């Protein structure tokens, strides 16, 4: 499954996420790392120092997704700013007299 606008692919299938009871809000490209993390957490009674490797891998994946989204949004804003600059330089679509 390919997610539009992202460089990462979905590895976990919908069936796997349903079986692992992953909440809808967490079903992103990092869900394949969340499933073993949650299994480890349950097995180790949620002791924070027991599942450090799994947690680190999951948090790194989420961080990379956020950074990717931020870069994409920055590019969109730059394109919008360039478009505004072009519109200011060109002939206005609505004459100034119409803004009475």
Asked whether the beta carbons of 63 and 8 are under 8 A apart, the reply is no
Distance CA 41, CA 23 (A): 16
**pLDDT-derived band of residue 1, with 50, 70 and 90 as boundaries?**
low
* Residue carrying structure tokens 């992103």: 28
**pLDDT-derived band of residue 7, with 50, 70 and 90 as boundaries?**
confident
64 pLDDT more than 90: yes
Task: State residue 100's pLDDT score.
Answer: 57
**pLDDT-derived band of residue 62, with 50, 70 and 90 as boundaries?**
very high
59 pLDDT more than 90: yes
Chain centroid to CA 17: 17
More confident residue, 6 or 44: 44
Fill in the DSSP letter of residue 6. Answer: -
């Amino acid at each position: 499954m390919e997610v539009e606008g992202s460089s990462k692919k979905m590895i976990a299938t919908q069936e796997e996420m349903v079986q692992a009871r992953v909440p809808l809000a967490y079903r992103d490209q990092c869900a394949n790392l969340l499933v073993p993390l949650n299994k480890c957490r349950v097995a180790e009674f949620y002791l924070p120092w027991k599942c450090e490797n799994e947690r680190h891998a999951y948090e790194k994946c989420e961080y990379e997704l956020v950074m990717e989204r931020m870069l994409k949004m920055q590019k969109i804003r730059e394109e919008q700013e360039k478009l505004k600059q072009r519109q200011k330089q060109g002939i206005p679509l609505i004459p100034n007299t119409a803004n009475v």
